[in-house]
């Protein structure tokens, strides 16, 4: 009940968006290959953003 109003983290939002794009890409793969490839590319861009969040940031000023 207390998690009802919990805000999603940036990582959770990106993971959800990645899964949505992957699903759209899969669904389009049988009807529109070009659009499917575009969705797959967008999903890969989101994955790159996720990996940036995972990697430790170097200290600034050094």
Give the pLDDT confidence score for residue 46 in this predicted structure.
95
Q: Is the pTM of this model over 0.85?
A: no
Residue positions counted in the chain: 62
Distances (CA, A) of 5 to 11, 12, 13, 14, 50: 17, 15, 15, 19, 24
Q: Return per-residue pLDDT of the chain as tens, 62 residues.
A: 566 778 888 899 999 999 999 999 999 999 999 999 999 999 999 999 999 988 776 666 65
Alpha helix ranges (H) inside the chain: 10-28, 33-54
Give the pLDDT confidence score for residue 6 in this predicted structure.
80
């Amino acid at each position: 009940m207390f998690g009802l109003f919990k805000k999603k983290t940036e990582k959770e939002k990106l993971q959800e968006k990645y899964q949505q794009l992957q699903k759209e890409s899969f669904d389009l793969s049988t009807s529109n290959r070009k659009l499917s490839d575009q969705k797959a590319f967008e999903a890969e861009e989101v994955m790159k953003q996720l990996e940036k969040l995972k990697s430790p940031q170097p200290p600034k000023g050094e």
